[in-house]
Amino acid sequence: MKVVYSENFRAVYSSDPASAPGRMEAIVRELRGFEFVEPEPAREEEILLVHSPSHLQRVKALPSVYPLALLAAGGAVKASELAMEGEPSFALIRPPGHHAGPNSFWGFCYFNNLAVSLQRLLRSGRIRRAVAVDFDLHYGDGTAAIFSGSREVSYHHAEGGREEILEGIASFLEREDYQLVAVSAGFDNHQEDWGGTLSTEDYRKIGKMVKEWSLRKCGGRRYGVLEGGYNLSVLGRNVRAFLEGFG
């Protein structure tokens, strides 16, 4: 199990909660014992696999955001490459990405990190089918828009109460066919965060569930990327719980 991370992600690049000072540090402190690997920035041609040229130019016009947004997308790419090599991985990155659509960005997201990493593998022919599981409190409208009508990627957002969320993820992973599982891992639906629903143990269960289904259906190829999660007093241990189940 490897964690893709750069010290550059500690930078405060905007005033939004995803960029809050200390957010990445709160997670890193809890991940002692995990192996960390460095990402490289995504290339513009990789961003253009899922975003329009005008979208790219609008983000490029944000000088404090653009270099980190490229690095975040590159972190997701690195995690996907590790997964393809049989190494479960987690991209500990920011800005997050699941609200970024083909020609729009909002909700603290600029480039859709998960979509960039998946589309890159699809367009190269290295996979034909993948699933994206999103357990962030908020619907990943950007990811859904990018893969709308696609036969190559099925997107599932975990919604409802605690039991509905857990059962929904299991049902989705059971019924779909796929060669790779990608996870938008948002932790803002924790009992002590914005959503107030899931326990720390539930994140461990979700991680274990994804691991078990990936081993059954796609040779264990799986990776996750960080999305939301804003209560710094619980965020780190929630991420650790997920990775303990996932790895």
99 is catalytic: yes
Report helix, strand and coil shares of the chain as percent, to nearest 5. Answer: 45, 15, 40
Place of tokens 């790419």: 77
Between the two ends of the chain, the Cα-to-Cα distance in Å is 5
Strand partners, 91: 4, 225
Beta carbons of 200 and 237 less than 8 angstroms apart? yes
Beta carbons of 226 and 174 less than 8 angstroms apart? no
Radius of gyration of the chain (CA): 16
CB-based contacts of 17, cutoff 8 Å, min separation 6? 108, 230
Beta carbons of 156 and 197 less than 8 angstroms apart? no
Residues found in the chain: 247
Within 10 angstroms of residue 240's Cβ, the number of other Cβ atoms is 21
Q: How far apart are CA 187 and CA 196, in angstroms?
A: 10
Strand partners, 134: 157, 184
Question: Which of the residues 55, 98, 99, 156 is marked catalytic?
Answer: 99
Q: Which residues are catalytic?
A: 99
